Structure 1
Amino acid sequence: MRIALLGATGYIGRSLLYEAQSRVFTVVPYTRDKKKAEDVFKKYSIHLNSTLHTYNDLSTEKYDVIINAAGIGSQSQLAKKTQDITFVTESLDSILLNYLETNPHTRVFTMSSGVVHSLEKQTANSDDEPLIKNTYALAKEASEARHRTYKEYAIIDLRIFTFFSRFVDVNDTFLLSQIVGSLENNDEFVTNPNDIVRDIITTEDLLDTILFLTNTAPANAAHDIVSKGTVTKFELLNYFKDKWNLSYTIAGDEQESPTGQKDSYYPSSNTLKEMGYNPKFTSLEGVHKEITERLRVA
């Protein structure tokens, strides 16, 4: 099976690239900027088994599967580049749909987000600042709606609620990014007293989901990505405290996510289970596997 991976330098992209290469799949990475991509792969010690391509090269190649992990995956970038969200999403959709016109049997998997379930309407008052969470959700919702109109193509949107891998950027503002950053810098992690619930998917289960779906009948659909079990913030913190000697204190507020405050953020349905797929890891088990690998390498 020959796989094209778009957005190979992003958080999810580089994680999938490493995982797929470790399983000896032929994975061809795609990016906007080769020089920046080479710097990212060097930073995370990811060695390529295939030639790095730009998106303009896609139309000249043949693939069984295309994974679209491109987008603005960093919360810090998301906060700075709100206006780019829709452009990035639409431009990649255009590239993929053009490709499918001449390669209609290729399976396409696009990384979407659980935020589409909690879409809030933008205020009608033009004087108000647009909410980033709504802009992001609207872009994802529009992309999914666009895909559903092309029933003749096997396009599947995978809605990820929370993702974690050993390739996390500790300078980002995700909860786990901040926890890992505090751990590696030997800093005390400061949090507020409010507990939250997350469903965290890690790379192995995400790739397994894609491989499972490639072995089912071609379909045009969206699925929530579900781990084997959710985890709370304080379960995570106590795990890092007991296992990795993280020091944390309860005081003040964390920085709010650009996609909105979500106390309980996990799937309410599991269509993949109905199809026969079962994930390998609970949220905490997946985090343990990934952080163990990160700290082992460090």
Structure 2
Amino acid sequence: MNVAIFGATSQIAKDLIVRFAKENVMNCTLFSRREADVDIWLEKQGIAHRFSSKNYTYFSDRQKFDAIINLVGVGNPARAANMGTTIFDVTKNYDDIVVDYLQNVNKKCKYIFFSSGAAYGNSFSIADDLQQEAKFSINDLTASDWYGLAKFKTEISHRMLDNFIICDLRVFSYFSETQDINNSFMMSELVSAIFNNKTFETNDSILYRDFIHPDDLFSLVNLILERYESNGALDCYSKQVVEKQELVNFLAKKFGLKFKINKAEFNSSYRNKTYYYARNKDAGNTLGYEPKFTSLSTIAHVIEQLRNS
């Protein structure tokens, strides 16, 4: 299978590329704005002989791809907020390239668009919310909404292309051995505290998250490439979510994390993503996806890898 990967410099893209190389089945062409950086990274991984790295300008109708995986986007929440509304233009630009290819070159090409749980908007303040609707406060939008709205808008445009095989794959929380421990993710801050023997401070508010292991995500992507034949969306999930207090206690016991719990200030904002994880398990029902890792086993495995490296 010939696969094009957009956004080859992203963390998830690199994790997928390494695993595709080990499987030695897919013929991948890696597209990015900084193809030289990808070339250097491929050399360091010892897989430069396996895949070719190209600038987006080389993507043309002369190439025949069986599938396109679009990972263009922002992984760091602070950077996403700084981009503001330009995130709409970035998302649309690369999506348009793929859609044009589907419409004018290869109508049978599968398209996997990496979306986000943020496409649900403010749907995570209630534990038993079934997530059948996306919720955005139309009269009170803030910069923190732009990322989710960009994903939501793109998904809507895909549903109108119902003659094409398109899967919008929503990632909620992801953790791998390539994690940048200097960014603003909670897990990066926790790992940094462990490795630097510092105290992690948080409040006593309830917070549920679901961290998918890169092997489980790779398994799900492969199932989509092999079996998915419709136009819709799937949510990513692990075997079990984790609550923040459970998480810090686990890390303290297993890795010696030092932490301090402060009293949370009252906050009535409906934007609080208290229960940020997928309830939709269609990936299992339709494709037979069965994650092997829980959130805690994912975290333990990844921290061991980071520590050993």
TM-score (norm 1): 0.88
Name 2:129's counterpart in structure 1.
none
Q: Distance in 1 between matches of 2:39 and 2:258?
A: 35
The one of 113, 116, 124 aligned to 2:119: 116
Q: Distance in 2 between matches of 1:29 and 1:240?
A: 36
User: Is 2:260 the partner of 1:249?
Assistant: yes
TM-superposed CA distance for 1:253, in Å, is 6.8
TM-superposed CA distance for 1:262, in Å, is 0.9
| Matched position secondary structure for 1:147 | helix
Name 1:142's counterpart in structure 2.
153
Runs of 4+ off more than 6 Å: none
Do the aligned residues in 2 keep the contact of 1:228 with 1:282 (CA within 8 Å)? yes
Flag structure 2 segments of 5+ consecutive residues without an equivalent. Answer: 124-134, 266-270
Q: Distance in 1 between matches of 2:278 and 2:170?
A: 9
1:192-230 Cα shifts (integer Å, max 9, x gaps): 111311111121111111111222251111011121111
| Matched position secondary structure for 1:191 | strand
Name 1:285's counterpart in structure 2.
297
User: Is 2:27 the partner of 1:26?
Assistant: yes
The one of 47, 53, 78 aligned to 1:76: 78
Aligned residue identity for 1:170: I
Aligned residue identity for 2:304: T
Larger mean CA deviation between 183-192 and 82-91 belongs to 183-192
TM-superposed CA distance for 1:36, in Å, is 4.8
Do the aligned residues in 1 keep the contact of 2:208 with 2:274 (CA within 8 Å)? yes
TM-superposed CA distance for 1:239, in Å, is 2.3
| Matched position secondary structure for 1:28 | strand
Q: How many residues align?
A: 286
Q: Distance in 1 between matches of 2:78 and 2:242?
A: 24
Flag structure 1 segments of 5+ consecutive residues without an equivalent. Answer: 125-129, 255-259
1:59-98 Cα shifts (integer Å, max 9, x gaps): 2422222111111221121121112210111001111011
Aligned residue identity for 1:146: S
| Matched position secondary structure for 2:227 | coil
Name 2:54's counterpart in structure 1.
53
1:83-136 Cα shifts (integer Å, max 9, x gaps): 221011100111101111201111111111112223312326xxxxx5123211
Name 1:233's counterpart in structure 2.
244
Q: Distance in 2 between matches of 1:200 and 1:57?
A: 35
The one of 106, 111, 115 aligned to 2:109: 106
CA RMSD of aligned residues (A): 2.3
Q: Distance in 1 between matches of 2:274 and 2:245?
A: 13
Distance 1:193 1:95, change over 3 A: same
| Matched position secondary structure for 1:165 | coil
TM-superposed CA distance for 1:28, in Å, is 2.3
TM-score (norm 2): 0.85
Aligned residue identity for 1:201: I
Larger mean CA deviation between 52-61 and 264-273 belongs to 52-61
Over the matched positions of the two proteins, sequence identity in percent amounts to: 30
| Matched position secondary structure for 1:136 | helix
Q: Distance in 2 between matches of 1:150 and 1:82?
A: 27
Show the 5 A alignment for 1:159-198. 159-198=170-209
Distance 1:63 1:228, change over 3 A: same
Distance 1:247 1:53, change over 3 A: same
